[in-house]
Amino acid sequence: SDVRGFWRSIVEGRDQIKEIPPNYWLIEDYYDPDPAAPDKTYGKTGAFLDAVPFDAMAYGVPPNVVQQTDTSQLLGLIVAQQVLEDAAGGDFQHIDKSRISVILGATGATELVVHLGSRLQRPIWLNALRANGVPEDEAQAICNRIADSYVPWTEASFPGLLGNVVAGRIANKFDLGGTNCVVDAACASSLSALSMGLSELHLHQADMVIVGGVDTLNDILMYMCFSKTPALSVSGDCRPFSDQADGTILGEGLGMLALRRLEDAERDGDRIYAVIRGIGSSSDGKGTAVYAPKASGQAHALRRAYAAAGYSPRTVELLEAHGTATKAGDVAEFTGASSVFGEADPESKQWCAIGSVKSQIGHTKGAAGAASLIKTVLALHHKVLPPTIKVDRPNPNLAIEESPFYINTQVRPWVRDSSHPRRAGVSSFGFGGSNFHVTLEEYTGDAGRKDEFRPSPTELFLLSGANFQELSEAARQLTAGFDRADSFQFLARSCQLAFRSTDRLRLAIVARDIVDLRAKLDAATTAIERDPASAQQAPTGWFYSGDDASGRAGKLAFLFPGQGSQYVGMSGDLALAFATSRTIWDEAADLEFEQGGQLHEVVFPQPVFSDEDRAAQEERLRATEWAQPAIGVASLSLLVLLKKLGIQPDAVGGHSFGEVTALHTAGALDRKAFFSVARKRGELMAEAAAMFPGAMTAISHAADAVASLLASWNTGVV
């Protein structure tokens, strides 16, 4: 229900696809596994919006017309308010609304069109009943009963069913004076709206444009459309680019973004999530069928986008594909993208991650481009390569190993050297050959507030009290009235702000969700009640300080590990959750290694699909020339985070390579020197190991480096 929850679900790889809820349509009424069954769908799964509270009066919608107003119009108001408040930094009332436009992608029918149109079939029902000899009064009564299943026609019905009023209602409620309209490019509608919005800014017809897509139509009409094409998955799942891909799954959703000219946003100190560098569009032209995708047509859109951006696709490391998981669609898209990216560097292979959010939320049709765009913007903002789930093996027809792409099936920190900013592309294609591609870049300037939606699977809860009664009451009150999943982060932040570190009794809990939190609160308070004086902790994730005032804090030592502690992905969770830790890996990305390659490529390698390949990745990291600098950078990524938290050691020490990290921590080596020593030490020890296998060796030709190191060693450092 908000962008933070959306990003969290992406990073955690949550699968949102499930069976059709009964309030949409009944599986027993419309489902048949035979794709050829008349008036039946072979699909019975999808991705659906949860129920959302709607305060009609707060949004200026008379309660008596809510039933005659399409869901897209109502939910559109909620999303628009979120994006406007975010864009205005919480001060929306004081910005110039006269030059704000709202342009949204919306396809064809709305759900209310289906309901109101169905009600008009009464003459057909009545004639059928009469023809079958049903008495007139009984036939009329039956028709009345059927009609009562649909929304009645009123004076509010016409505006309530129109797709363009999704934008119009937003402009009306928030007093926006710019353009308001919707555009329809089928499944590319969101990026079509983006293209129009960028034109408004370029021509200075608006100073801010709200763009995106809206689609809440997961009714049986849509299932029938996609079933008879046929495009739905036979197995009931969406697996883009997988060898098991057999069709798409329908989803629904709304997503909006605020656009401004970069110079205006920087001048006003706006929060800037990413920068759009170019957009390209094309048509497929003449083809075999109006709905059959054409690789060459899609490639035109990509070439135009990168020409507008002014940089090569070789510098792009993430492509959020349209990725419907249909066999024809995936192959056509992959072929088109490979041709464009391959032209940029014919010799290099698999430098760019490719994926699709549809593996998690299905195909949201008119809102599909918005979902992809928001995912990619947040990936750039948080420096994270997001996962595409459900790919056990790539589709062999893609020949992906010989392409510029690899499928990123695991969330990984997006590490990048200083040669250029992080860059990404987003594709969206619609029936009828409507093709769009947008190029994006991370924002590297100083303007704006740097908000981070920390993608951690857990939250920290802190409670305190002067005595057990106070602590117990705080624990009881903590979750009272909080049952919605989207309140979890708010709850954690609230209790952290209320925490008093001066209280004698202090309780910390690490929890995954509300259910987990309540269970740990119960377990902790029960244990504390039995012995409130003693410090206690549980391996499940709660920690209690105890009421023993005589206890005094001891001194703190940091002991750093040596070779043998390395493993693929080490410290990746820190780099994902905390920018402070990730920047250490970014700095290390500029190191040059004699053996070639970059350190993060060895520690956070591209996902592979066999045990043999995974073992090879582990073996590569065990090589001394990689292991030692990797351990050093991983240790440093934790060290800088501890320092930011105010945790400083009284003494430092290290085992084997860890001695180098200890020297840096003690101030004997600055960061640049530490990186150099870590890299060179690994190379020299690898060379020595090759000369004297199985032995600890002193390397004579490193004597100068050792002497220099000893000369800079601060006396008294352990």
Q: How far apart are CA 609 and CA 480, in angstroms?
A: 45
Alpha helices (runs of H) in 132-187, residue ranges in sequence order: 136-147, 157-161, 165-174
Tens of pLDDT, residues 435-475: 999 999 999 998 766 666 777 788 999 999 999 999 999 99
Q: How far apart are CA 403 and CA 405, in angstroms?
A: 5
Q: What is the mean pLDDT of residues 264-277?
A: 94
State residue 696's pLDDT score: 47
State residue 398's pLDDT score: 95
- Beta strands 434-441; 423-430: pairing state: antiparallel
Q: Compare 671 and 451 and report the one with higher pLDDT.
A: 671
Provide the 10 A C-beta neighbour count for residue 708: 12
Quickly state the pLDDT bin for 327 (edges 50, 70, 90): confident
Q: How far apart are CA 360 and CA 14, in angstroms?
A: 6
322 is known as an active-site residue: yes
What angle (nearest 5°) sits at the alpha carbon of residue 94, between those of residues 88 and 100? 60
Contact 571, 634 (CB under 8 A): yes
Q: Would the pLDDT of 316 be above 50?
A: yes
Q: How far apart are CA 46 and CA 686, in angstroms?
A: 53
Tens of pLDDT, residues 604-640: 999 999 999 999 999 999 999 999 999 999 999 999 9
Tens of pLDDT, residues 346-355: 999 999 999 9
Q: What is the mean pLDDT of residues 670-684?
A: 92
Q: E strand or H helix at 318, and its extent?
A: strand 318-320
Mean pLDDT rounded to a whole number for the chain: 91
Of 225, 238, 300, 322, which one is the catalytic site residue?
Answer: 322
Tokens of 665: 């921590």
Tens of pLDDT, residues 643-669: 998 999 999 999 999 999 999 999 999
Residue 612, C-beta contacts closer than 8 angstroms, at least 6 positions apart:
none
Q: What is the mean pLDDT of residues 572-589?
A: 94
- Candidate from 198-207, 234-243, 551-560 with smallest mean pLDDT: 551-560
Tens of pLDDT, residues 115-136: 899 999 999 999 999 999 999 9
Q: Would the pLDDT of 698 be above 50?
A: no
Residue 358, C-beta contacts closer than 8 angstroms, at least 6 positions apart:
238, 240, 248, 249, 251, 323, 324, 325, 364, 368
Q: Would the pLDDT of 236 be above 50?
A: yes
Q: Would the pLDDT of 174 be above 60?
A: yes
pLDDT-above-70 percentage for the chain: 94
Return the axis-axis angle of helices 703-711 and 671-691, rounded to nearest 10°: 150
- Candidate from 6-15, 38-47, 280-289, 435-444 with smallest mean pLDDT: 280-289
Quickly state the pLDDT bin for 549 (edges 50, 70, 90): low
Return the amino acid letter for 173.
K
Tens of pLDDT, residues 4-32: 889 989 999 999 999 999 999 999 999 99
Tens of pLDDT, residues 144-167: 999 999 999 999 999 989 999 999
State residue 548's pLDDT score: 66
SS (H, E, C) 390-452: CCCCECHHHCHHHCCEEECCCCEECCCCCCCCCEEEEEEEECCCEEEEEEEECCCCCCCCCCC
Q: For residues 403, 404, 406 and 407, what is the CA-based torsion angle, rounded to 10 degrees?
A: -90
382 is known as an active-site residue: no
Phi, psi of 225 (to 5 degrees): -60, -50
Q: Compare 450 and 314 and report the one with higher pLDDT.
A: 314
- Candidate from 50-59, 481-490, 531-540 with smallest mean pLDDT: 481-490
Q: Would the pLDDT of 713 be above 60?
A: no
Quickly state the pLDDT bin for 718 (edges 50, 70, 90): very low
Q: Would the pLDDT of 280 be above 90?
A: yes
187 is known as an active-site residue: yes
Of 115, 300, 363, 381, which one is the catalytic site residue?
Answer: 363
Of 187, 238, 352, 495, which one is the catalytic site residue?
Answer: 187
Q: How far apart are CA 495 and CA 362, in angstroms?
A: 36
Q: How far apart are CA 242 and CA 438, in angstroms?
A: 24
Q: Which residues of 649-666 are buried (b: 16+ CB within 10 A; e: fewer)?
A: beebbbebbbebbbbbbb
Q: Which residues of 125-143 are buried (b: 16+ CB within 10 A; e: fewer)?
A: ebeebeeeeeeeeebeeeb
